[in-house]
Structure 1
Amino acid sequence: MATIIPFKAVRPARDKVSLVTCRSYDEYSPAELASQLDYNPFSFLHVLNPAYVNMHKLSESIRFKSVHTKYREYKDEEILKQEATPVFYLYEIQSKNKVFTGIIAGTSIADYQNNIIKKHEDTLQYRVEYFKDYLHQTGFNTEPVLITYPDNADLKQWITQRKQRRPLYLFSSLNRDKHTLWRIKDPQEIAWLQAEFANMPSLYIADGHHRSASAELLYKQDKESGNKNLDYFMSFLIAESDLKIYEYNRLVNDLNGLTKADFLSALAKYFDIENRHLELWKPDKKFEFGMYVGGEFYSLTLKHKQFATVHQALDAQILYTKVLQPLLDINDLRSDERITYIPGNKPITTIKEMVDEGTFAVGFMLYPASIDEIKELADNNLIMPPKSTYIEPKFRSGLVVYEL
């Protein structure tokens, strides 16, 4: 059974929510970041990076303390306000092509440790420890773990009906997405939601493996403090069918000394190859791969499709074992500087342009993994190759804060 809890969230004042919330800090170019910090005094970016110009000169401890201080200032100035009682939220993100709706709640460290909350990605220990120290010193988190649950007819009906009520927030962001937040504070409604999730044997992390691992590490470090907030971490829970799973496409700097003709000849051992010339071609089913090299697109269709495990049958793993490692000498997908990753929500023309400019020699387009593949991996304690999935929705920083 899965445990979720309401919590005393901190959130923006209603009249400032569209000014406070922002994309994840890493998504801003330096120019965008400077513009936001110069012209929007309410942006949560001021909290995340309060000493922007000199941040690189400061020690880690001083940076984190500065974040904590700025966060307290936002609360003191009532730019951010705390709920009087523990609540859940229902949150909808409406973009041009998709609507995402999910529940913001606290999820259990015990469930994470007992594999009720299941994982499919590996983590880097230095990143886990870095974010654990960040949480410890700043005392808050505003980036929930994206967790998916099996489609549930009762929950779906409740969400549909609940969205008919007046929201707490309704605003648009600069990328023209519409955001709507409803507060769930009725004790009976809260208890019903908890009972629905208690009937679920498993939940699955879609995005946020490092955040959840850091929360567990912080719990182990500070649990003797008696702070019960450490027993949980903030999550955005969304039904499986509502997720949007993209692939991560690959760009490689060079052909490892091979000519284009030699490279195509080597690929023919494993793939049926068709020259698509200048057609902007990308795969539309599993075991197909797109490739752009030497000014032309190619489709690569795997010849033999018998695999012992779901891990071996992942398209990202196939590309690694058949192409990247043996032909292009890419051994470490995390650290090799010759490979670059482009999320599948970017147009194919991005890959074409980057190869045509000469920065890269070849680009590969993959077919996205399915939710069933992700779940099967998690159920069998298997790990996806690095940069296998880019999953939406993405949460806005500063919209809801979980204090530790």
Structure 2
Amino acid sequence: MVHIYPFAAVRPADGKAQAIAAVPYDVVSASEAREIINNQPLSFLRISRADALLPDTDPYSDQVYALSKKIFDEYISDGICVQESVPFLYVYRVLHEGRSYTGLSCCVDAREYKSGVIHRHELTRYDKEEDRTRHIDAMNANTGPVVLLHLKNDVVATLLSKSVTGTPLMEVTAANGSIHQIFAVRDSEKIKLIVDAFGKIPALYIADGHHRCKSALNVAERRIEKGINIPEETWHVMGVVFAEDEVKVHGYSRLLTSLGDYTPQTFLTALRAVATITPFEGVEPSSYSITPKQKKTGLHVFHLYLEGRWYECAIQISGAVSRIDSLDVSVLQDQVLVPFLGITDSRGDARLQYLGGARPIRDLMIKVDSGEYVAAIAMQPVDVQTVCAIADDGGIMPPKSTWFEPKLLSGLLVHLLE
């Protein structure tokens, strides 16, 4: 069964939340983070992406992580951020495009991630896992939440609904127009009811933040290996937990830095050995996904952007295969990336990069048209039920198989490990 914990959050001082709130560290490049910081001088990206402040320094150098910690400490000492005196739970609500998403901000147990009570469905990428491990260790804090799911639960839904009352503790409008509200649950009786309700839930599923969760476990275990007597709080990982029907899933796009020995035309010719390739006109650059023109039933469909043109690529679905092997991302990996481009390590091969699904198609096109990448591949989303079923089976999806919404802001709540 699941254990959740209240925590004494470090949060923006009253009136500072809008100035501090930032997008997650991993959805922007260093140059994009730098531009945001220039326009928003107190942005939490100064802490989560201190490499943006040191453009001539190795982004993984000790100097970068030390700067993150220094700025965070200054925010507290200068009164820009404050720490609650006692542990609370928090309800995190996002309002966007006529829909609301309501989840519980709490801590979960890294040991339950290790034991499998907290189900994972993706492998982490080595470099990103090590980066967040070092960042959490240097900060002695979880600075960004892990987003988790639970199966629909009426008791939890009612408790959270009753907690969203009055004026929010914080309210922030994000760059995409979404409104993020934090409600503090301070009443001890209500906290106990929520904790007890979660105690009857058999499992949680990581939706977003595999690297953050694994890295938090790494920090606790590495400290123990060094002979450090860690407090219980170090095992706790900050998260926001949503019911399965409180989230939305997008596809996760792929970007290629090279086609190896192929030219764009010979690559298309080679692909025709395994896929039907059709020029695709009428892509709306401002949309967040591409709707296939072919019926997806019986087909794996993805869209390829190459030399300024979009192509719809369809591969026949094979017979009896596992849930994981039947995913579009698995078919792309096994039938295209490995045999044609030799990309056997989707976690570590630098030729393969990723762009989250809640970005307009235009962003993919710009990255290819600029020459930064040679090709982009837009994927179709996986439904939530498939993700949970794979996790229940103990299966592991290829990295960056899913992009969940809502994307939560960083800097509104921080959990200290001690």
TM-score, length basis structure 2: 0.84
The yes-or-no answer on 1:235 pairing with 2:239 is yes
2:51, 2:325 → 1: CA distance? 45
Residues 142 and 397, structure 1, Cα contact 8 Å, conserved in 2 = yes
Matched position secondary structure for 1:67: helix
**Cα contact 2:136–2:143 (8 A) shared by 1:** no
Q: Contact 2:51–2:57 (CA<8 Å) still a contact in 1? A: no
User: How far apart are 1:91 and its partner, in Å?
Assistant: 0.8
Distance 1:220 1:200 in 2: 26
Give matches, 1:238-257, under 5 Å: 238-252=242-256, 256-257=260-261
Alignment of 1:25-40 (within 5 A): 25-28=25-28, 33-34=33-34, 36-38=36-38, 40=40
Amino acid paired to 1:103: L
Quote the Cα distance in structure 1 between the aligned partners of 2:312 and 2:373: 19
Mapped contact 2:127–2:348 kept (Cα < 8 A): no
| C-alpha contact 1:282 1:366 (8 A) present in aligned 2 | no
CA offsets 1:176-225 (integer angstroms, 9 cap, x no match): 32121100011111111111111111101111112111211222233552
Identity across matched positions, percent:
29
* Residue of structure 1 equivalent to 2:200: 199
Q: Is the 8 A contact 1:278 1:296 kept in 2?
A: no
Q: How far apart, CA to CA, are the structure 2 residues paired with 1:298 and 1:32?
A: 29
1:207 to 1:256, Cα distance in 2 relative to 1, 3 A: same
> Could you tell me how far 1:334 is from its partner in structure 2?
3.5
Taking a change above 3 Å as real, the CA distance of residues 247 and 97 of structure 1, as seen in their structure-2 partners, is: farther
Unaligned runs of 5+ in 2: 285-289
Q: How far off its partner does 1:133 sit?
A: 3.3
Matches within 5 A, 1:123-202: 123-125=124-126, 127-202=128-203
**Alpha-carbon displacement from aligned partner over 1:36-94 (angstroms, at most 9, x marks no partner):** 54565533344443992477279844443343333222222221111122100001122
Residue 392 of structure 2 aligns with an amino acid whose one-letter code is D
- Deviation for aligned residue 1:331: 2.9
Return 5+ residue gaps in structure 1 as ranges: none
Judge conservation of contact 1:50–1:70 (CA < 8 Å) in 2.
Answer: no
2:287 corresponds in structure 1 to none
Residues 34 and 215 of structure 1, relative CA distance in 2, 3 Å threshold = closer
Partner of 2:386: 373
**Structure 1 stretch displaced more, 251-260 or 195-204:** 251-260
Larger radius of gyration: 1
Contact between 1:20 and 1:44, CA under 8 Å: does it hold in 2? yes
User: What is the rounded CA distance, in whole Å, between the counterparts of 1:124 and 1:352 in structure 2?
Assistant: 24
Instruction: Sort the Cα spacing of 1:285 and 1:196 in 2 relative to 1 into closer, same or farther, 3 A.
Output: farther
Q: Distance in 1 between matches of 2:283 and 2:75?
A: 52
Q: Which residue of 2 aligns with 1:9?
A: 9
Q: Deviations over 1:5-30 (max 9, x none)?
A: 10111111111111122223454565
Contact 1:37–1:45 (CA under 8 A) maintained in structure 2: yes
Q: Which moved more, 1:305-314 or 1:276-285?
A: 276-285
The 2-side partners of 1:129 and 1:348 are apart by 30
How many correspondences in the alignment? 404
What CA distance in whole angstroms lies between the structure 2 residues aligned with 1:55 and 1:256?
30
